[in-house]
């Protein structure tokens, strides 16, 4: 019984095929990077996994259930949580209250009283680094703090799987490092992560495996450094001519390398 | 069977008025997302303008149509520009209540000036009919329908043919982009609201030919405007026309078979059903 | 200057949980109101019974309109239904037991909200408002056409000897409504409602079953309105559809909630007092044109106090902050 399985998922919007027969598995405890050029279907995939969209074909299996069969407000009770690229805070509530709502209605919510939910919220604020702004209205936060709030709210649901949708967009270098640390901390607590990111540095340093989408299809899957070097991926991101030139360059490098190995030892 | 056709024709004839009422309402709602609860009282003011011109200057109501339109247009423009524009971006409750308060003001002002007694306009052709087969058609109602169609056609021409009209449609699609393109939104909004109230005033004139006048006469038409907008969809002239005529027919048959007392209830049930099943209306485009 | 605003913030909004001080002051005011019947002044008793009635209606509206953000423009339907229940109880069953009337009215209204809630609460924004208005108008017409319910002319209700009984009943309903709002505001349920108001989609993602909670909220507001209506019927001695479904009963509670502070605990009560005071003053000073002035009052309140008195007390930045906040709404 696999942990989280995406089976032949297809998604159509009218005439547009946003996802086309995508399949992969997510291992428990891993950090999966989902990458691909703009418009490749990454956010659509996130929406399908988190139950926001019902796929036109195929299904997502998790914890013995098909996600599409579950109602929106029950998805978090299964153990899947996500952040949104365009953050959705409860504007006039304080930061602490925002996270508390998740703690109240998430997976463990029914066991918590209001007071306990607030205590849990405070814990999470400290983990993500928002404790100092706990009493601020959510609408008054800076961009990096809003992203942290999204993550905190998702964590309040006590998820087994956390989907992060471009949490690092708009962050500067220091903030990116902080975000990477946060991801590692969360993963260390046993949460499986699926991350959509454009920032290669982040993906490379944090992912245990990578899936690459292009034009709705999966074109590569595997360990980060393998995937990133594969010609298909380079072609998808940078175009065919660049990929071919890159391959020619790699060929030349290999020949030079061979030549150098042969030379010192003098003749064949 | 003759009865059926008579009711059908009655419905179509009165539907023209509903279309004009709804068109003004729909413009303001569709373009500025404002539900103008004072729309009924604008209609009432238009009717009283026709009454005053008729009683004092013997001006035929059809001739006071353009006058009423212009007067109510200016009135609406000023109200939007200097009052409603303050809260255009506020939550809907604010504009709901603002226009409600406005309607209270206008109805009570009318009560003071014209008193609550019922007035009417009786022209030389008021009772005249002609026969179209088995159906009797009152002349004034026929001309009312013609006037209504002319007004709707003119409106459509304005919106699609003129620069201002296009600017209006652009603003409704994307206020930010419109502003960046140089559209003066405050002025434009005022024009739209002015058009809405002008249309209401014109409808009021048409109403005065067939119905009696009193300060509270406008409110039933407000509800009808709602229903027509929901039936026909927001922001489209064709929608208001189709919706208006459809509603006229519905109401005619409703009052025949369910009784006039319940005809509003029937209309509202229809409204609720349409809202639940197809909120964008029969012809409308999707709006917030 | 800074100190004053810090103090003012204390009696302000207090976030969703409702400000403690505002609540205690409200309770104190309500306690004082208990004294009114013993003054043996018919005018005052009617006046304050009216305040209590409108406060209850406003508190009820506040639950669905203020906290949940679903602006109902037809909550008067529950008031009217409650009043009709009372009149039917007397007319057909010779029942004058006020408690029975209140309970029955509340049950009928709750059922109505339950059945209508599922389809109607799926509508958003303007559409929901219009739909509720439509329901109110349709119900009024339907009742006007059913003779057993009183038809167009309604029923008279013989009042019990102990007239002040109705004052105390209205008082009790008001207190219950206020306390209920207080508890809701501090409970998980209250947070669910506010989450729905702020961002319904995000709330669902966080596990809030929006449909369920919206319907419950509407049921609660229906019960409050119906209870007030059922007492009103007895107190008034006569009920017909135009009286029980009067536009005033629909709009005043909303304006009061706005005036006092939408989405606060004490706001509706504050608004009920202030608006009644304004109304009475206008009525006595300008009997002919008091409705005209009242329309002007509504316009002014909406333009300059869109978030209400309690919020005004909590605003930061003093006068300039206040002006800035108004600018956010204009184009």
To 10 degrees, what angle do helices C188-198 and A114-128 make? 50
Residue of C nearest to B278 (CA): C123
Confidence of residue C317 (pLDDT cuts 50, 70, 90): low
Task: Show the tokens assigned to B196.
Answer: 């809405």
Q: Position of tokens 């009865």?
A: B3
Q: How far apart, in Å, are the Cα atoms of B286 and each of B31, B89, C26, C31, C318?
A: 12, 20, 45, 52, 42
Q: How confident is the model at residue A173 (pLDDT cuts 50, 70, 90)?
A: confident
* Residues in chain C within 8 Å Cβ distance of A77: 207
Question: DSSP class of residue C5?
Answer: H
Q: Quote the tokens at residue C4.
A: 């004053």
Place of tokens 């219009």: C130
Q: At residue C303, does pLDDT exceed 60?
A: yes
Of A172-176, B160-164, C158-162, C272-276, the least confident: C158-162
Q: Output the average pLDDT for chain C.
A: 87
What is the rounded CA–CA span in Å between residue C179 and residue A185?
A: 44
Q: In this complex, which chains have at least 3 CB pairs below 8 Å with chain B?
A: C
Contacts of C194 in chain A (CB under 8 A): 90, 92-93
Distance, in angstroms, between C199 CA and closest chain A CA?
A: 6
Chain B to chain C, count of Cβ pairs less than 8 Å apart? Answer: 137
Q: CA-CA distance, B281 to B247, in Å (whole number)?
A: 13
d(CA C329, CA C306): 10
In the predicted structure, residue B53 carries a pLDDT above the cut 80: yes
Give pLDDT, residue C10. Answer: 40
Please indicate if any CB of chain B lies within 8 Å of the CB of C255. Answer: yes
Tokens of residue B252, six digits: 């005619």
Q: CA-to-CA distance for B250 and B242, rounded, in angstroms?
A: 12
Tokens read off for A252: 């030349």
Q: List chain B residues with CB under 8 Å of C294.
A: 104
> Dihedrals φ, ψ of B179, to 5°?
-60, -45
Cβ B87–C329 below 8 Å, yes or no? yes
Helices (H), A197-239: 200-206, 224-229, 231-238
For residue B283, pLDDT over 60 is answered with no
Cα separation, A18 vs A206, in Å, equals 27
Q: Which of C73, C145, C292 sits opposite B105 (nearest CB)?
A: C292
Select A1-79+160-224's CATH number: 3.40.630.10, 2.60.40.10, 3.40.50.300, 3.10.580.10. 3.40.50.300
What integer pLDDT is reported at residue B280 of this predicted model? 58
| 3-class DSSP assignment, residue A227 | helix
**Nearest-neighbour CA in chain C from A159: distance (Å):** 11
Nearest CA to A146 among A101, A90, A195, A187?
A90
Q: What is the pLDDT of residues B160-217, one digit of tens each?
A: 888 888 888 777 766 667 777 766 888 888 999 999 999 999 999 999 998 889 998 8
For residue C2, the model assigns a pLDDT of 37
Token pair, residue A222, equals: 């595997």
- Tell me, what's the ipTM? 0.85
- pTM attached to this predicted model: 0.86
Structure-block tokens of residue A232: 């298909």
Identify the three-state secondary structure at position A198.
Answer: coil
Nearest CB among C127, C137, C329 relative to B264 is that of C137
Partners of C131 on chain B (C-beta within 8 Å) are: 271-272, 275
- DSSP class of residue A139 equals G
Determine contact, residues A63/A130, Cβ cutoff 8 Å: no
Contact, C194 vs A93, CB < 8 A?
yes
Residue with tokens 């209001």: A114
Residues 19-38 of B with CB under 8 A from C: 29, 33, 35
Residue C282 backbone class (left: φ over 0; alpha: ψ -120 to 50; beta: rest): alpha
Query: Rounded to an integer, what distance in angstroms lies between the CA atom of residue A3 and that of residue A191?
Result: 12
What residue ranges do the domains of chain B occupy? 20-107+162-277
Mutation test of the interface with chain C: which of A50, A72, A136, choosing the one with the most C Cβ atoms within 10 A?
Answer: A72
Per-residue model confidence as pLDDT tens digits over B13-33: 999 999 999 999 999 988 888
Catalogue the long-range contacts made by C33-36 (C-beta closer than 8 Å, 24 or more residues apart). C33/C171, C34/C171, C36/C167
| CB spacing of B108 vs C326 below 8 angstroms | no
CB contact set of C279 (below 8 Å; sequence gap of 6+): C290, C294
Is C10 in CB contact (< 8 Å) with chain B?
Answer: no
Q: How many CB pairs under 8 A join A and C?
A: 78
Grade residue B258 by pLDDT with cuts at 50, 70 and 90. Answer: confident
The conformation of residue C65, written as its DSSP 8-state character, comes to I
Confidence of residue C220 (pLDDT cuts 50, 70, 90): very high
The DSSP call for residue C67 is I
Q: Are B211 and B21 in contact (CB under 8 A)?
A: no
- The structural domains of chain A, with segments of one domain joined by +, span 1-79+160-224, 89-158, 230-263
Cβ under 8 Å to A: C residues 206-225:
206-210
Please answer yes or no on whether C329 and B86 come within 8 Å at the CB atom: yes
Probe site for chain B from C298, C302, C307 (most B CB atoms < 10 A): C302
In this prediction, what percent of chain B has a pLDDT beyond 70?
A: 93
> What's the rounded mean pLDDT across residues A165-186?
89
Touch of C by A (3+ CB pairs closer than 8 Å):
yes
CB contact under 8 A, C186 and A101: no
Instruction: Supply the pLDDT for residue B201.
Output: 96
Sorted by where each starts, the structural domains of chain C and their CATH numbers stand as: 2-327 (1.10.3470)
Count, residues in chain A = 268
Single out the residue of A197, A117, A109, A182 nearest to residue A145, CA to CA: A182
Contacting chains of A (3 CB pairs or more, <8 Å) are: C
User: Nearest Cβ partner of C329 from B89, B101, B259?
Assistant: B89
Average pLDDT over residues B22-48: 92
From the list C16, C198, C206, the residue facing A105 with the nearest CB is C206
Closest CA–CA distance from residue B238 to any residue of chain C (Å):
21
Q: How far is C224 from chain A, CA to nearest CA, in Å?
A: 25
Across the interface, whether the CB atoms of C191 and A114 are under 8 A apart is answered yes
Query: Which residue from C265, C316, C250 is spatially nearest to C20, judged by alpha carbons?
Result: C265
Q: Which chains touch C (3 or more CB pairs under 8 A)?
A: A, B
Smallest Cα–Cα separation from C252: which of C102, C61, C82, C69? C61
Residue B58 Cα, gap to closest chain C Cα (Å): 31
Q: Report B:62-81 residues touching C (Cβ under 8 A).
A: none
Measured from the Cβ of residue A242, the count of other Cβ atoms closer than 10 Å reads 12
**Least CB–CB distance from A88: residue in C187, C199, C209:** C199
Residue C221: its pLDDT value, please?
A: 97
């Amino acid at each position: 019984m696999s942990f989280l399985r995406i089976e032949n998922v297809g998604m159509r919007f009218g005439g547009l095929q946003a996802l086309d027969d995508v399949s992969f598995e997510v291992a428990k405890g891993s950090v999966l990077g989902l990458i691909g050029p703009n418009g490749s279907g990454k956010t659509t995939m996130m929406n399908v996994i988190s139950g926001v969209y019902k796929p036109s074909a195929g299904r997502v299996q998790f914890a013995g259930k098909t996600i599409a069969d579950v109602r929106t407000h029950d998805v978090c009770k299964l153990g899947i949580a996500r952040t949104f690229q365009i953050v959705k805070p409860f504007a006039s509530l304080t930061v602490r209250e925002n996270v508390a709502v998740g703690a109240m209605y998430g997976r463990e919510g029914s066991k918590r009283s209001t007071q306990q939910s607030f205590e849990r919220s405070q814990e999470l604020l400290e983990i993500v680094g928002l404790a100092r702004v706990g009493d601020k209205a959510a609408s008054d936060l800076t961009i990096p703090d809003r992203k942290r709030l999204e993550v905190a709210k998702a964590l309040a649901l006590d998820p087994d799987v956390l989907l992060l949708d471009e949490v690092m967009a708009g962050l500067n270098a220091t903030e990116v490092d902080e975000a990477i640390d946060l991801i590692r901390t969360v993963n260390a607590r046993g949460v499986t992560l699926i991350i959509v990111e454009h920032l290669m540095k982040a993906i490379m340093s944090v992912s245990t495996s990578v899936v690459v989408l292009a034009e709705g299809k999966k074109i590569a899957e595997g360990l980060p450094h393998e995937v990133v070097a594969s010609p298909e991926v380079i072609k998808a991101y940078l175009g065919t001519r660049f990929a071919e030139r890159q391959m020619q360059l790699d060929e030349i490098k290999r020949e030079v390398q061979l030549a150098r190995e042969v030379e010192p030892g003098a003749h064949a | 069977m003759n009865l059926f056709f008579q009711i059908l024709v009655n419905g179509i004839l009165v539907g023209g008025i509903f279309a004009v009422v709804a068109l003004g309402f729909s413009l303001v709602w569709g373009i500025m997302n404002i539900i103008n609860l004072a729309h009924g009282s604008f209609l009432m003011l238009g009717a009283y303008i026709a009454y005053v011109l008729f009683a004092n200057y013997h001006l035929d109501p059809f001739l006071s149509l353009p006058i009423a339109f212009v007067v109510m247009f200016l009135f609406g423009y000023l109200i939007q520009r200097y009052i409603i524009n303050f809260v255009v971006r506020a939550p809907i409750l604010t504009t709901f209540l603002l226009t409600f308060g406005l309607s209270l003001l206008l109805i009570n002002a009318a009560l003071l000036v014209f008193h609550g007694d019922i007035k009417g306009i009786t022209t030389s052709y008021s009772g005249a009919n002609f026969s179209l087969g088995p159906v009797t058609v009152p002349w004034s109602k026929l001309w009312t329908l013609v006037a209504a169609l002319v007004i709707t056609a003119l409106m459509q021409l304005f919106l699609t043919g003129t620069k201002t009209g296009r600017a209006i449609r652009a603003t409704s699609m994307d206020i930010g982009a419109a502003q960046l393109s140089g559209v003066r939104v405050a002025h434009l909004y005022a024009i739209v609201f002015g058009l809405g109230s002008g249309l209401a005033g014109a409808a009021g004139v048409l109403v005065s030919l067939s119905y009696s006048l009193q300060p509270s006469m406008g409110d039933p038409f407000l509800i009808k405007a709602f229903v027509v907008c929901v039936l026909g969809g927001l922001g489209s002239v064709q929608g208001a026309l189709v919706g208006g005529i459809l509603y006229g027919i519905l109401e005619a048959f409703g009052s025949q078979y369910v009784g006039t007392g319940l005809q509003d209830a029937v209309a509202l049930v229809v409204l609720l059903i349409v809202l639940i099943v197809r909120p964008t209306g029969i012809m409308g485009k999707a709006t917030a | 200057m800074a100190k004053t605003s810090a103090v003012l913030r204390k009696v302000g909004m207090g976030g969703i949980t409702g400000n403690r001080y505002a609540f205690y002051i409200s309770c104190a005011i309500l306690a004082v109101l208990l004294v009114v019947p013993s003054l043996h002044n018919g005018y005052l008793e009617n006046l304050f019974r009216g305040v209590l009635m409108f406060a209850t209606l406003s508190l009820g509206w506040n639950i669905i309109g203020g906290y949940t953000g679903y602006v109902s423009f037809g909550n008067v339907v529950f008031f009217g239904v409650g009043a009709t229940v009372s009149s039917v109880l007397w007319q057909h069953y010779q029942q004058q037991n006020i408690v029975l009337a209140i309970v029955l009215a509340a049950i009928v209204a709750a059922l109505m909200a339950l059945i209508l809630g599922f389809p109607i609460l799926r509508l958003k924004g303007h559409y929901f408002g219009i739909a509720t208005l439509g329901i109110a108008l349709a119900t009024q017409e339907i009742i006007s056409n059913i003779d057993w319910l009183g038809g167009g002319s309604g029923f008279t209700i013989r009042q019990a000897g102990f007239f002040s009984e109705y004052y105390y009943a209205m008082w009790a309903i008001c207190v219950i409504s206020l306390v209920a709002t207080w508890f809701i505001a501090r409970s998980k349920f209250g947070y669910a409602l506010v989450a729905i108001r702020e961002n319904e989609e995000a709330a669902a993602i966080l596990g809030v079953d929006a449909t369920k909670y919206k319907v419950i909220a509407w049921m609660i507001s229906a019960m409050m309105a119906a209870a007030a209506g059922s007492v009103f019927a007895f107190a008034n001695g006569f009920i017909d559809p135009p009286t029980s479904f009067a536009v005033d009963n629909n709009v005043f509670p909303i304006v009061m909630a706005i005036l006092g502070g939408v989405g606060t605990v004490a706001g509706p009560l504050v608004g009920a007092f202030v608006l009644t005071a304004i109304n009475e003053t206008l009525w006595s000073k300008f009997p002919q044109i008091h409705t005209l002035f009242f329309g002007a009052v509504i316009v002014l309140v909406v333009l300059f106090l869109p978030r209400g008195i309690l919020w005004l007390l909590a605003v930061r930045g003093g006068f300039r902050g206040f002006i800035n906040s108004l600018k956010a709404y204009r184009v």
